[in-house]
Amino acid sequence: MTTAAGEPEITKPEAPLNADAPATARFDEFALPDPLLKAIEALKFEFTTPIQDAVLPFSLADYDVTGQAQTGTGKTAAFLISTLTQLWENPKANHKKGTPRALVLAPTRELAMQIEGDALDLVKHMDLEVQCVVGGIDFQKQRDRLEREPVDILVATPGRLLDFVNRRDIHLREVEVLVIDEADRMLDMGFIPDVRRIVYQTPHKKQRQTLFFSATFNEDVMRLARSWTLEPEHVVIAPETVATDTVDQRFWMVGASEKTSCLIDFLLRTEPERVIIFANRRDQTHKLDKALKDKGLQSEPLAGDVPQRKRTSTLARFKEGDLKILVATDVAGRGIHVDGVSHVINFHLPEDPEDYVHRIGRTGRAGAEGVSISFVSEDDAFNLPGIEEYIGNKVECTQPDL
């Protein structure tokens, strides 16, 4: 089909009829670059997840996308595969240092570093460079690397990126692909003014591709999406599709004063393969971690006040299996993408029902089965109705199964 001017008419590919249906597409059906397919094969990825199946037909065709999906659905691979394909198919000569061609913004250091790690896995056979700039890591070391090596894909947290932009160490005028991940969390953490300043440093939305992801799309998030994208294709993966089929969800009635002893008893009796314990505040993670260590259990806290180097080494040990128990807050937990987590324990019920889904999404990944155990006490039982409404199920509270 052609336009009146005789030019080919560009039509959008059809959206999947049901984005929540099991994925049937193979990655080699998307005509991806051979070096990228080689990396995907090495990672043992064969079939797409629902979010990948829904996003890739549009993002690979250079359309803007707004995607509603939780952590753990495969959205990171979706936007990285699309971005790497765009950069590979449109090589750029005389690429200047400090001028990324693609920018990925993430709300937390852990998530940014996880995205960097995933990107490095995917570019192993491609002549593309990935760098990450985040707070809590030596500024000068990051600056030296920017001056020493070119960067094709830059993964960053907003505050640290602005530090480099204001010093003119990083220039965003040549960004071809902009990815904004977990926009709702950016909004909750007060980062939107920084993100807005960053977006304005990039080319106009007509001159770049924008991929915008958020776990929720309330009016505030929709307003941001409309501002920063151009006629985007909107893809929705329902929250209840995340891990609920592969996670055995249990709710235990435990008195507030008995939670710690109940947890310790469970850990000593069952010796779970790999467990993440969620608390609502930083001080609670440290108190709980100390209680576990006092009983001879090997655990480490993961919270915002833990030095970045320590957090990085803790996550590495957890991924490698050298550490079995993590005690984390929700913000820190967003950066945990580890297959093989056998248990998630909600020591405190989250105040935000969405965080419950994020938490249990740490287990039951990659088709494996997992267990989530939520302690329900007189201190936080009032959070239970909101969780039931959000997941669409009435939960049954039972006595601890010890």
Q: How many domains in the chain?
A: 2
Q: How far is the first Cα of the chain from the last one, in angstroms, to the nearest whole number? A: 67
Rounded CA-CA distance 166/79 in Å is 27
13 in a structural domain: no
Query: Based on the domain organization, do 226 and 86 belong to the same domain?
Result: yes
SS3 213: strand
Query: Predicted confidence band at 359 (pLDDT cuts at 50, 70, 90)?
Result: confident
Q: Could you list the beta-strand ranges (E) of 208-285.
A: 209-214, 233-236, 247-253, 275-278
What residues have CB less than 8 Å from 79, skipping those under 6 apart? 55, 59, 104, 179, 181, 211, 213
CB 149 within 8 A of CB 180: no
Q: Which of 151-165, 200-214, 338-352 has the lowest mean pLDDT?
A: 338-352
Query: Based on the domain organization, do 227 and 279 belong to the same domain?
Result: no
Q: Looking at the predicted structure, is the pLDDT value of residue 1 above 60?
A: no
Exposed, middle or buried by CB within 10 Å (0-12, 13-18, 19+), for 31? exposed
Query: Based on the domain organization, do 171 and 67 belong to the same domain?
Result: yes
Query: Based on the domain organization, do 327 and 387 belong to the same domain?
Result: yes
Three-state SS for 19-38 is CCCCCCCEHHHCCCCHHHHH
Query: Based on the domain organization, do 84 and 142 belong to the same domain?
Result: yes
278 in a structural domain: yes
Query: Based on the domain organization, do 198 and 249 belong to the same domain?
Result: no
Q: Looking at the predicted structure, is the pLDDT value of residue 7 above 50?
A: no
Question: The domain spanning residue 175 has which CATH number?
Answer: 3.40.50.300
Query: Based on the domain organization, do 90 and 218 belong to the same domain?
Result: yes
Instruction: Provide φ and ψ at 109, rounded to 5°.
Output: -60, -45
Predicted confidence (pLDDT) per residue in 242-293, tens digit? 445 678 999 999 999 999 999 999 999 999 989 999 998 889 999 999 999 9
Helix axes 75-89, 50-59, angle to 10 degrees: 20
Rg (CA), the chain: 22
Query: Based on the domain organization, do 116 and 49 belong to the same domain?
Result: yes
40 in a structural domain: yes
| Domain-ending residue, one of 204, 237, 270 | 237
Predicted TM-score of the model (pTM):
0.66
Query: Based on the domain organization, do 51 and 197 belong to the same domain?
Result: yes
- Residue 148 parent element (H or E): helix 139-148
Query: Based on the domain organization, do 218 and 321 belong to the same domain?
Result: no
17 in a structural domain: no
20 in a structural domain: no
Q: Looking at the predicted structure, is the pLDDT value of residue 8 above 70?
A: no
pLDDT at position 81, please? 97
- Residue 58 parent element (H or E): helix 50-59
Q: Which single residue is written with the structure tokens 């440290």? A: 286
- Residue 177 parent element (H or E): strand 177-180
pLDDT at position 4, please? 39
- DSSP secondary structure letters along 274-288: SEEEE-SSHHHHHHH
| Domain-ending residue, one of 211, 237, 263 | 237
Predicted confidence (pLDDT) per residue in 377-395, tens digit? 998 889 898 888 888 788 8
SS3 302: strand
Expressed as residue numbers, the domain containing 168 is: 27-237
Kindly report each contact of residues 396-402 with a partner whose C-beta sits within 8 Å and lies 24 or more positions away, as own/partner.
Answer: 396/251, 397/251, 397/252, 397/253, 398/250, 398/251, 398/252, 398/253, 399/252, 399/253, 400/252, 400/253, 400/254, 400/262, 400/266, 401/250, 401/252, 402/262, 402/265, 402/266, 402/269
